[in-house]
Structure 1
Amino acid sequence: MNKRLKTILFLVVSVFLTRFIPFSSLFRNLDTMIHEFGHALATLLLSGKVLRIELYADHSGVTYSTMLTPGRSILVSLAGYISASLFAWLLFYLYRKGRHMWGLGIITAIALVSLLLYVRGEFGMLWLTGFIALNVVIMIFGAKIVKFYYLFLAFLTLEESVLSAMYVGLLSWTQPSRAGDAANLAQQTFMPAMFWGTLFALFALWCAKGALALFFRKESSSGRTSRARSLSK
């Protein structure tokens, strides 16, 4: 089967499977947090000032910052979807290396920094507080489930990074003025929103392909190790 088609089919199946997990909707703001943190980090790296981040119950978000030069504003607008896609890839890379505790620690650290410094608004602050508390409890007391919890977060982040990028890609063709970062980039450059929206969608799929390749490689090597142990007994 074509690797790209395999990636899409696996993502579709995992979307349905994760939706059956109780309260899974509450965790979908994780991708939004990473997306908005990507905007904030790019702003800081480019000498801008982050005013605040808002996270909403409908899984959307927005980052408010000081005005930057046009060239820097383009980079900040690009950072959201690109950061979310790359972060999902990073989570699977850490899983491949057997360092899922590192990944969970990084997720929790980003949530803590966001809560303390940038996120304002009742829902966002409440969600981050609960998410951080749950992560800490699982890291300390949940040795038997931490791997599965990490994979749940990793797959949910991967799915949301792809679905949100594809959604903005679709909007960039059908309702370009409502296409979020793609619309902002269209206003700042000579390229239309459909170019940027399509770019976000393709980049997300490319990252998903790389992330799932790491996952399959990990599971394949784990399977071979288990069989070798069985034969040696």
Structure 2
Amino acid sequence: MNLKDNLYLIFLLLFVLSIFLIKIPVIGKFIRIINTLFHETGHAIMALLFNSEIYRIELLKDTSGLIKINGASKFSTFFIALAGYPFVAIMSYLFLYLLKLELYLVILYLILFVAIINITFWVRNVYGIIWIILFSALSVLVIYNENDLIIAIFTITISCIMLIETFISNYNLIKIAYKSPGNAGDATLLKSSTYIPSILWALLFLFFSLYFAYLSLKLFL
């Protein structure tokens, strides 16, 4: 199969497949952690920009995540809490942009770079460490297989899952912010910093993600 001539068709097929893939027990949750990894990395990058100390990151098997930071002021906490969801949306767009340029290996190397940084400095819970090791090993195996079709399928699938998860995670945040505003994660932290209701922050995250999802899909439609 000629990848260049069939890239749009392959993308559409794998996008649909990814929707079903994330629903498969165990496998679906395992793959969806890639979204959590980048979400927490977004928080970590912002924390570093404000010279805050990152104590640890946890990647949990229910696809949620946790970052513990020391030395963050109320001002810096606002930006740190703000960074997670937009960072994933931007990265999913970047990955799909690289896909269109057929730079599949660049995507894999970026993922491996983020994974290595996290396991070296931040991720400290057992599940998170095991996940990074397994996912990194799978990525390395795909790279060294040197099969263009397999590399393309793997990177397109991961990119599609990240794109889909940007919507799902934001939708779930809205439900939590509506039913239990005090337990809405980043939206709750932002509420405590600004006194703007959690639900409004959740909606803002959703609109931001939808905009980048639109830009992402526009690359292939």
Q: TM-score range by the shorter chain?
A: 0.7 to 0.9
Matched, 1:16 2:19: yes
CA drift at 1:174: 2.3
Relative to the length of structure 2, the TM-score reads 0.88
TM-score between both structures, scaled by the size of structure 1: 0.83
8 Å contact from structure 1 (residues 52, 120) kept in 2: yes
Q: Within 5 Å, give how 1:198-217 maps onto structure 2.
A: 198-216=203-221
Equivalence for 2:133: 129
Specify which of 179, 182, 187 is matched with residue 184 of structure 2: 179
Deviation at residue 119 of structure 1 after TM alignment: 0.2
> How many residues align structurally?
207
What secondary structure is seen at the aligned counterpart in 1 of 2:57?
strand
Over residues 13-65 of structure 1, what are the superposed CA-to-partner deviations in whole Å (9 max), with x where a residue is unaligned? 55533347793431110000000011011100111110110011111110001
Distance 1:137 1:179 in 2: 37
Select 1:46's aligned residue among 46, 50, 58.
50
Structure 1 unaligned residues grouped into runs of 5+ = 1-9, 217-233
- Larger mean CA deviation between 13-22 and 66-75 belongs to 13-22
Against the structure 1 CA distance between its residues 162 and 42, is the aligned structure 2 distance closer, same or farther, given a 3 Å change threshold?
A: same
Give, in whole Å, the separation in 1 of the partners of 2:211 and 2:203.
Answer: 12
- What is the CA–CA distance in structure 2 between the aligned matches of 1:215 and 1:25, rounded to whole Å? 26
After superposition, the CA RMSD in angstroms is 2.0
Distance in 1, matches of 2:53 and 2:23, equals 40
Change (3 A) 1:81 1:90: same
Distance 1:115 1:215 in 2: 33
Identify if the C-alpha distance between structure 1 residues 25 and 48 changes in structure 2 by more than 3 Å, giving closer, same or farther.
same
Distance 1:100 1:132 in 2: 15
State the 4+ residue runs in structure 1 displaced beyond 3 angstroms: 12-17, 19-22
Question: Residues of 1 paired with 2:104 and 2:19: CA distance?
Answer: 23
- Are the counterparts in 1 of residues 18 and 157 from structure 2 also a CA contact under 8 Å? no
For 1:215 and 1:51, the matched residues in 2 are separated by 40
Mapped partners of 2:50, 2:110: distance in 1 = 22
Percentage of pairs with the same residue: 28
Opposite residue 66 of structure 2, the aligned amino acid is V
